[in-house]
Each structure stands twice: as structure tokens, then as C-alpha cells.
């Protein structure tokens, strides 16, 4: 057994998604909340595949806010600019419909795209300059469960994960990347 301090991270490596999902269920049966369990994988694994609750994302709200801001800027460009600097060209209206629709659409989409990029960037907590747990086996297609536990919980968690099909269980080491 590894000597653990009062609060450490336990790392369990699984070969496939089925035993990893069984590991998550075993941890839940022990009373470990999902907030203390992190799934690390090189492949995209959804929460539903692991039997976990859906993680709330703020990206749609941020994107909607960016679209509204873009629409506001588009309205400003489409209406305020021609009214501030009116140019009469051959009897055409100062504010014409088709060019106004194009400007509104393009600037609204620009605001939404920029805010979506920013939202994904912030939602993924990137960049993170602190030490992070890195598992080399993930590059080989394996799945890791990182469990935040105390020294008293180590034996029961280790036994449950071993029973669920973990290949190896060890204390996680966080290194600066």
C-alpha cells in the first residue's frame, strides 16, 4: 500500500469503458459523490456513457449573450452609421432593407462565434498553470478514474475498483505540464 496523506488522489486504470463505468457505479455505491471522481480518457466519453449526471455548461448562455451583443452592434452599424453620415445616391433610401439584413446577420453571427469560442475556452478551465495529473496509459487508449479520497477510504475504494476490473490502482502524482 502507498503511504497516503490525509487527502490524496487515487488513480485507477481501466482497459475499456465497461469496467470503468462499473468502477464509477462501485464508487457511487460507496457514497463517493461524482464531484470527487474525474474520468480521464483520450477518447470522447459522455457522462451518459459512464452513468453520470450531465455536467452543466455555460457555453449556450454565453453564446446567446454574444449573439445579442452582436445584434446590438449590427443595429448600431446598420442604422446609426447611415443616419450619422447620410449619403443620397440616386434617390435610394438612406437605410435600405437587403444590405441592412446582411449586416445584421453577419455581425450577429460574429458576436455569437467569438463568444462561443471564449465560452468553450473558459468552460474548459483553460489555461491551467498548476500541477495536473498526467496518465501515460491514456495515450494507449485506456481510461483512468481519478478519485479524491482520504487515507481511511483508500482500502475500500481500492477493493471496489479492483472488483470492478481495474488493471492498476495507485496514488496519482500531479506534475506541472
Confirm if 78 and 104 have CB atoms less than 8 A apart. Answer: yes
* pLDDT in the model for residue 91: 80
Report the topology of domain 7-56+131-175: Alpha-Beta Plaits (3.30.70)
Task: Taking residues 90-95, report their average pLDDT.
Answer: 83
Place of cell 445584421: 104
Confirm if 43 and 76 have CB atoms less than 8 A apart. Answer: no
Task: Single out the residue of 10, 8, 37, 9 nearest to residue 21, CA to CA.
Answer: 37
Confirm if 16 and 149 have CB atoms less than 8 A apart. Answer: no
* pLDDT in the model for residue 2: 46
More confident residue, 61 or 9: 61
* pLDDT in the model for residue 4: 45
* pLDDT in the model for residue 43: 79
Backbone angles phi, psi at 34, to 5 degrees: -60, -25
Quick check: 152 pLDDT over 50?
Answer: yes
Percent of the chain with pLDDT over 70: 90
Class of residue 177 by CB neighbours under 10 A (exposed 0-12, middle 13-18, buried 19+): exposed
More confident residue, 43 or 76: 76
Backbone angles phi, psi at 149, to 5 degrees: -140, 170
> pLDDT digits over 49-66, tens only?
777 777 788 999 999 999
Residues 78 and 116: their CA atoms lie apart, in Å, by: 23
Tell me, what DSSP letter sits at residue 170?
E
* pLDDT in the model for residue 177: 57
Residue span(s) of the chain under CATH 3.30.70.120 come to 7-56+131-175
* pLDDT in the model for residue 173: 73
Quick check: 27 pLDDT over 60?
Answer: yes
Confirm if 147 and 157 have CB atoms less than 8 A apart. Answer: yes
> pLDDT digits over 114-141, tens only?
999 999 988 877 777 776 666 777 777 8
Task: Taking residues 6-20, report their average pLDDT.
Answer: 81
- Lowest mean pLDDT: which of 40-54, 106-120, 154-168? 40-54
Amino acid at each position: 500500500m502507498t503511504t497516503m496523506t490525509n487527502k490524496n488522489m487515487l488513480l485507477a486504470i481501466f482497459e475499456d469503458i465497461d469496467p470503468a463505468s462499473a468502477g464509477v457505479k462501485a464508487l457511487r455505491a460507496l457514497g463517493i459523490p461524482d464531484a470527487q471522481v474525474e474520468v480521464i480518457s483520450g477518447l470522447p466519453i459522455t457522462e451518459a456513457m459512464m452513468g453520470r449526471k450531465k455536467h452543466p455548461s455555460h457555453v449556450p448562455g454565453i453564446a446567446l449573450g454574444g449573439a445579442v451583443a452582436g445584434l446590438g452592434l449590427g443595429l448600431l452599424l446598420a442604422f446609426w452609421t447611415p443616419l450619422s453620415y447620410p449619403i443620397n445616391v440616386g434617390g435610394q433610401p438612406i437605410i435600405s432593407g437587403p444590405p441592412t439584413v446582411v449586416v445584421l446577420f453577419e455581425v450577429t453571427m460574429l458576436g455569437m462565434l467569438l463568444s462561443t469560442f471564449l465560452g468553450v475556452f473558459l468552460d474548459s478551465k483553460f489555461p491551467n498553470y498548476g500541477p495536473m495529473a498526467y496518465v501515460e496509459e491514456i495515450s494507449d487508449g485506456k481510461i483512468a478514474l481519478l478519485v479524491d479520497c482520504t487515507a481511511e477510504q483508500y482500502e475500500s475504494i481500492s477493493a471496489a475498483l479492483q472488483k470492478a476490473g481495474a488493471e492498476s490502482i495507485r496514488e496519482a502524482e500531479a506534475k506541472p505540464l
